[in-house]
Structure 1
Amino acid sequence: GLILEGQDFAVISDILGDEDQLGDMDFKVAGTESGITALQMDIKVKGITREILSDALNQAKVARLFVLGKMAEIITGPRAQISDFAPKIITLQIKPEKIKDVIGPSGRTIKKIIEETGVQIDIDETGKVKIASPSKEACDKAVDIVESIVQEIEVGKIYIGKVKRILDFGAIVEIMPRTDGLVHISELAPTRVRTVSDIVKEGDEILVKCISIENDGRIRLSRKEALGENIEDYRKRV
Structure 2
Amino acid sequence: MFRLLISSYSRASVNTSRRVAPTTILSRAISQPHDTKTSPSPFDTEFDDHTESFQPIEEILPEPSSSTRPTPITSSQKGADREPLEKTWRAHREAMRRKFPEGWNPPKRLSRDNMDRLRTMHKSDPEKFTTPVLAEEFRISVEAVRRILKSRWEPSEERVAKRVDEDMRKKEANLAMYKEMRARRDKWKEHQRQLGASTKSTPNHSRRPPSSRPVDGVRRAPSNDSFMLQ
**TM norm structure 2:** 0.22
Larger RCO of the pair (alpha carbons < 8 Å, separation 6+) = 1
- Larger strand proportion, structure 1 or 2? 1
**TM norm structure 1:** 0.21
- Structure with higher Rg: it is 2
- Larger helix proportion, structure 1 or 2? 2
